[in-house]
Every structure is written in structure tokens, then in C-alpha cells.
Structure 1
Amino acid sequence: MAVLLSTKATTMQAWRDALLAVDPSLEIRLFPDAGDPADIEAAVVWTSHDMAELRRYPKLRLIVSMGAGVDHLLRPPGPPPGIPVARLVDRMLTTQMGEWVLLNVLRFHRQDPDYRAQQRDKVWLELDAPVTAQRRIGIMGFGELGTHAAGPLRTLGFPVMGWTRRPRDVPGVETFHGEDGLHAMAARSDILVCLLPLTSATRGIVSASLLARLPGGAFLINGARGGHVVDADLLAALDSGHVAGAALDVFEPEPLPADHRYWSHPKVVMTPHAASITIPSSAAPQVVENLQRARASRPLLNLVDFSAGY
């Protein structure tokens, strides 16, 4: 039986090598060269793979998504019915996202956009020193990524708040839940960070209504999915000055069209969905472990709950 591997051409060989390093006995086929469809027992895929195509494999028993987010799997027609899907919860992915969040919190906290503008204009002016203990950070989504991102921020002395769908108690963090809780946290967030999974309930959650609840001069950081943000509403808040800046790693669609205003907006810092990139050598052991579990009919690691959307 074989494993079908489908990802970007630039990383296909690295994934193959990483999986074989964990289990040299694996037979790996690189999409689109799947060979006999009846040979495929598992598919390890990323966002570009067509879920309808996976219905070609009659003995498929496992689908693995090469990342933490699974919203791409939820698009019609979705995965083949009855086939379990696992996502990656990987230490390196989590660490990278924490680094990216910290980078951008410090970028805004230490007034880096203002100093870069002064450098461009050859202005020598010392700005008022910011007080870390007074810069409140609100994190939307307090699962694996949000909890980890909160750690370094708390170590530096930032007050950190977290929002989840259901009540959750996290030592050292003030937590909120539900719609009222989100509104309450936003009203106190000098920097609002979005690390939510994208579901029907969270699509468009960063809208004019939520942005209006932020303190004047607040900042937005989005490392989750582009679909969380209503672009027109964020641009209006940036143009008015109510939101002082935004760091955005994710967009809808991707790649971002060349004529989109984010590219040239002076208050927007962009990265090309690069905040947290799966490293095959780190993720491969988890993929192989799930394949072994599927073969033995044992519970899978990080099984996607499609009813919850992640």
C-alpha cells in the first residue's frame, strides 16, 4: 500500500525524504503520479489539493492536512465521506507563530513604524517611551497557538487576555468567552491578535462592529486566516486612524491581488502567509504515527472535528 503526497513542487522532495527518514519502508507516490488508485491508503495533502480527486482511491483510510488549519478541507465537496482527517499540531509550527506574534507586538509597541517613517524623512525625534505593563494584548483563539504566543508576551510584562468559544481558566491570563466576552476583551485590547480557526462562526469576525470597540489607536495582528477580516472595514478603520496599524499574514484570496490596497497602505505590514511554515522533518513523525494508528484501527492524533470546524 502507498502514501500519496501532494504539496508545492518546491517542498515535495523534502516531504518525501522526511517521511522516509522516519519509516524507510513507506511507498510514497508524488501527485499527480499516483499509479493504481487502489494502492493508495493515505493522502498527505496541502491546500491546493482538490478534495474531489481523493474520491478516486477506494482503499483510502487516512487524510493528513499539512498544517494546523483545515478550512480548505471544508470547502465543497469536502473530503470523501467516512475517511478520517488529521491535522498537524507541531512544535515548530507553534513556535514560529509565537515568534511572529511577538515580532509584531514589539513592532507596534516600540513604535517601529513611526521610527521607520522618521528615518525615511530624515527626522531625528525621540518619541515618548511606551510602558509595557500598560499595553494590553487580547488574543482571539486560545488553543495551542494562542496559549503558546501568550507565554513570551507575559514574560516581557504585557498584560495578556484570551478569548475562546467556551469558558476556560488559564493561570496568569484573564479569559473571556462568548459574544459578550469578545466585546469586553476588544474594548480593552491595545493590540488585538487573531489566531482563531476559520469556521462559519468566525468568518468575518473582525468587522466594523468589533473594530469600533477597540480603543482608539489600537493595532490588529492577524496570523489566522484572511476570511476572519472584513477587508473594507479594516481599511476604513485604518484610514480614519481608529486603528493605528495592522500586521497581516493571511488574506482572501491568496496570493493577494496586485491592485489590493493592503500592498501600499502605509499602516499595513504584510507577510505572504509565512508566519508559520510546516517543516517536514519536524512534522513527519506525527504523520507516520497517524498512519500506523490508522493501520491498527487505533485513535488518531489531532483528528479534525468537522462539526466544530477544526
Structure 2
Amino acid sequence: MALNILFAGRPDRWDEYRPTLSRAFQEAGLDAVIRDDLPPAEVDYIVYAPNGPVQDFTPYTRAKAVLSLWAGVEKVVGNKTLTMPLTRMVDHGLAQGMREWVTGHVLRHHLGMDRDILNREARWEPVVPPLAEERKVTVLGLGALGRICAETLASLGFDVTGWSRAQKQIDGIRCLAGEDGLQEALTGAEIVVLLLPFTSETENVINAQTLDLMAKGAVIINPGRGPLIDDEALLSALDSGQISHATLDVFRVEPLPQDHPYWAHPRVTVTPHIAAETRARTSSEVIAENVRRNEAGEPMLFLVDRDAGY
């Protein structure tokens, strides 16, 4: 009997996902009906995005799992109608996209590329950057995305420190944990990359106190979650010169309001939440693999811990 798979992502992405999901399920050896309009009581699995049409999971009495297309689950993890297992998205496309975006912006700030790109006054002022091994980079968050970014930066020679709430061990990375570890990780950091999940414990992890721990003129790069930053504290640090630049891809309110101070600030680069977009082809492969695993009685990948919030 065929499995009924409901696509409950953003409606305008259905045409993109229809062929990739169909192909992924076929390659996984699964007989599946994949549609965006199945009767709730007949659905076996829900392919889900928080900006899609499903907010109340109560009618989906037969559903075995909700498979999110997003890496972040803060918009759904507290939904009391969602009682079945929930997985988050970690896939090759998401990880590779994040690695490329983070590496590009770390190198941009490390090399001081803006200085030359924006030089319109014909100033001949040679500034030689330090070697990567002389640049202290801290990555906050060592999950799948944080880890791959930290490893890539270390492979380029950067002096990389990683911090996570639970202790991790990664070859070539100084890994710290806990409150004391956070202070140590940020003390003297010259480039800080934020890749933590958003929870009550990580909100405003970048604040007036933690900003003061960083090296004078440090750079903040945030492709993680907007609420990780106390915006007023960051703006104050940018104005004082404690932070020389912030490259921000995520915000508390998105799209970022046109009157937000970040848009006009000369030391802020705004990118429109593009650091790690979910790709239909690679995410479909993860969705199909998780359904295959569950049907075979194997543990699903990237199962969300409701208590931890991710």
C-alpha cells in the first residue's frame, strides 16, 4: 500500500518540490503518493515548512512524523497540536551553502576587501592583512552547520575556537562549553560567527557584556538566528568602534523593516536571509531517507529534542 505524503511547504514551491520528492522516493524504493492536497486523515507523513499552510496538526491522526524543510524549528517546536515526531533539515545543500557563505564573508573581513572595493578616492594605501593563522575566529554553535564552517576555516589556517552549550570534540578546533567557556571563546576574538539555534538560553548571547570581551574592532557575522543579538547593544558597539563591522543575514523581524537602523549604518552589511537556503533536490533526498528509515524501524535523522528546543 502506497504511503501518503503531504507537501505542506510554501505553496509557490510545490512545483519545484514535486519532481525532486518523486524522484527521491523512487530512488529510496518507496511507493508513495506525494501531493499538496491530501485529506488530513489519510496522511502518513507531512513535509512541512513553518510558512506553509499547516498550523494545526490535530486533524492528521494517521501521521507518523512531521519532516521540516527548515533547519530552525523554533517556530513549530512549541506547537501543542504537534504530538508526533518532528525532524529538522540538515542536508548537503544546506551545509554547503552555509559553508560557502560563512567562508566568503570571513575571508572578506579578514582580508579587508571592502577597503579596496569601496575605494573611490584613488587612495594608494597598501594595508597587508595578517596571515589566517594570526586571526582569531570564534564560531558559536557546533551543530552540523557550525561544525562544517569551523572545520573549513581551520583548514584555511585560521585560529578557530568553537563554543557550544554541550562539550564537543572536533579535531583541529579548540572546543569550549558552558558559561565560562563562552567568555573564554569570545575574549580577544576578532571575527565571531553565530550559528547557534534560537532558544531562551541563547537569546541575546551577543550583548553589551559579551561584545566588550571581543578584540577592539572585531567583526560579527550572523547567519544563524536574529534574536541571538541584542540589536541596541550591537548598534552601540558599532558606533563606539568596539565592533568594526557586522554582516547580518537574519533578523528578529523579516523582511527587515525599511526604517531599521541596520539598513543605513555604514558598518553593517545586510543580506536577505540567503546564507543557507534549503535546496529542493538535496532536501528531498533527506526527507525520503527519513521516511525509509521510519518505515524500516530505524531511527530517523535529525530528530528534534522538544525539551532542548532543537
TM, length-normalised to structure 2:
0.92
- Matched with 2:67 is 64
Partner of 1:220: 220
**CA RMSD in angstroms, aligned pairs only:** 1.7
User: Partner residue of 2:33?
Assistant: 27
Give the corresponding residue for 2:129: 129
Does structure 2 retain, via aligned residues, the 8 Å contact 1:51–1:73? no
* Equivalent pair of 2:10/2:53 in contact (CA under 8 Å): no
Q: Can you give the 5+ residue segments of structure 1 that lack an aligned partner in the other structure?
A: none
Where 2:56 maps in the other structure, the secondary structure is helix
* Equivalent pair of 1:138/1:186 in contact (CA under 8 Å): yes
Q: How does 1:1-310 map to 2 (within 5 A)?
A: 1-24=3-26, 25-30=31-36, 34-49=37-52, 52-75=55-78, 77-81=79-83, 83-119=84-120, 121-310=121-310
Dislocated runs of 4+, deviation >6 Å: none
Q: Residue 51 and residue 23 in structure 1: after superposition, are their counterparts in 2 closer, same or farther (change >3 A)?
A: closer
Change (3 A) 1:37 1:10: closer
What is the distance in 2 between the residues matched to 1:173 and 1:292?
A: 35
Count of residue pairs the alignment pairs up: 304
Deviations 1:238-291 (A, max 9, x none): 111100001111111111111111112111112111101111111212211222
DSSP 3-state at the match of 2:51: coil
Q: Distance in 2 between matches of 1:298 and 1:79?
A: 25
CA contact (8 A) 1:136 1:191 kept: yes
Alpha-carbon distance between aligned partners in 1 of 2:307 and 2:210, rounded to the nearest angstrom:
25
CA contact (8 A) 1:87 1:304 kept: yes
Deviation digits for residues 119-162 of structure 1 (CA, Å, limit 9, x no counterpart): 3x443322243332211000101121122112222222111111
Q: Distance in 1 between matches of 2:85 and 2:68?
A: 11
- Structure 1 distance, partners of 2:58, 2:52, is 12
Structure 2 counterpart SS, 1:282 = helix
Aligned identity (percent) is 35
- Relative distance call for 1:78 and 1:249 in structure 2 (3 A) is farther
Kindly state the Cα deviation for residue 234 of structure 1 after the two structures are TM-superposed: 0.8
Is the 1:138–1:160 Cα contact (8 Å) retained in structure 2? yes
Deviation at 1:51, TM superposition (A): 5.9
TM-score computed with the length of structure 1 as normaliser: 0.92
Distance (whole Å) between structure 1 residues aligned to residue 170 and residue 117 of structure 2? 37
Name the stretch that deviates more: 87-96 or 21-30: 21-30
